[in-house]
Amino acid sequence: MSVSLAAPVEPIRLLASRTSALCLVELQKLRRDRTEAVTRAVQPALWLIIFGQTFTRLRVVPTGDVPYLDFLAPGILAQSALFVSIFYGIHIIWERDAGVLAKLMVTPTPRAALVTGKAFAAGVRALFQAIVVVALSTLLGVHLRLGPLHLLGVAAVVVLGSAFFCCLSITLAGLVLKRDRMMGIGQAIIMPLFFASNALYPVSVMPGWLQVLNHVNPLSYEVEALRGLLIGTPARLLLDFGVLVGSAAVAITVASMMLGRLTR
């Protein structure tokens, strides 16, 4: 009796305990590189100040009643989270080369816990970015809705989106296996992910085929949810969350399966 009950519980307990151990260690590591958090904040700041200020004056992007800078701020938030997480593939190859990954994989730890630890780290890093973007946008006069529930929603969206892109990157790393190749791929996928999304302009201005791509791009759902939560534009929050949760779960599963390739 106890055996049949324990059997399905054990893997779940193992996954939960290992995931929390690895998340804790990621937090310990982050505590030590605060300078990195600052340098990473420069890029979203520049996008808001240089690109945002200029395009607000141009008035070429049809954003309706919403000022362009308001429209842009959630897009830049999502972009900075994407930039943080898409480089985790290089990070994991680096850990492989240093022997760290093999050492962890020889411990009784499910692969999914190792991947979830990284996804969590990407999420926490992205949250730092989110704080910078929200603070800067407010300084620049963007009217953000900053109620506790909105902010909680924003945090959840940022963490889910980062988890997806982090695991996408780890999956690609498992396919290409080489750091220099991974650099190129990181650059090559950021561009279409970002520009074939609603981060900089509304979907309605895109050509038809690009609109199709936009529908399968999780970044667009992330931006839509962030925009809905922060500036109150219409958003299908239930669908957005559904897509983000689903894609993060699939990405974690696929990335876990790719991990073994890295230590062979």
Q: Which residues bind other proteins (CB under 8 A)?
A: 17-18, 21-22, 24-25, 28-29, 32-33, 97-100, 102-109, 260, 263-264
Q: Closer to other proteins at the Cβ: 95 or 240?
A: 95
Nearer to other proteins among residue 60 and residue 106 (C-beta): 106
CB of 112 to other proteins, least distance (A): 13
Q: Give the shortest CB-191-to-other proteins separation in angstroms.
A: 30
207 φ/ψ sector (left φ>0, alpha ψ -120 to 50, else beta):
beta
Alpha helices in 33-147 (DSSP H): 34-46, 53-58, 68-86, 88-97, 100-105, 111-139
**Measuring CA to CA, how many Å separate 8 from each of 2, 5, 13, 16, 250?**
11, 7, 9, 13, 21
Q: How far apart are CA 256 and CA 90, in angstroms?
A: 16
Q: Which residues of 77-115 are buried (b: 16+ CB within 10 A; e: fewer)?
A: bbbbbbbbbbbbbbbbbebbeeeebeebeeeebebbbbb
Q: Which is nearer to other proteins, 27 or 49 (CB)?
A: 27
DSSP secondary structure string for all residues of 148-217: HHHHHHHHHHHHHHHHHHHHHHHHHHHHH--HHHHHHHHHHHHHHHHHTSSSSS-GGGS-HHHHHHHHT-
Provide the minimum distance between the beta carbon of 107 and other proteins in the complex, in angstroms, as a whole number. Answer: 4
Q: Which is nearer to other proteins, 13 or 59 (CB)?
A: 13
Closest contact distance (angstroms) between CB of 259 and other proteins is 11
**Smallest distance, Å, CB 161 to other proteins?**
25
Compute the least distance from the CB of residue 32 to other proteins, in Å. 5
H or E, element range at 66: none
The CB-of-94 to other proteins minimum distance in angstroms stands at: 9
In contact, 179 and 93? CB cutoff 8 Å: yes
Nearest in space to 32 (alpha carbons), one of 121, 161, 133 = 121
Terminal alpha carbon distance of the chain: 39
Which C-beta is closer to other proteins: that of 97 or that of 192? Answer: 97
Nearer to other proteins by Cβ, of 94 and 241: the residue is 94
Nearer to other proteins, 192 or 260 (CB): 260
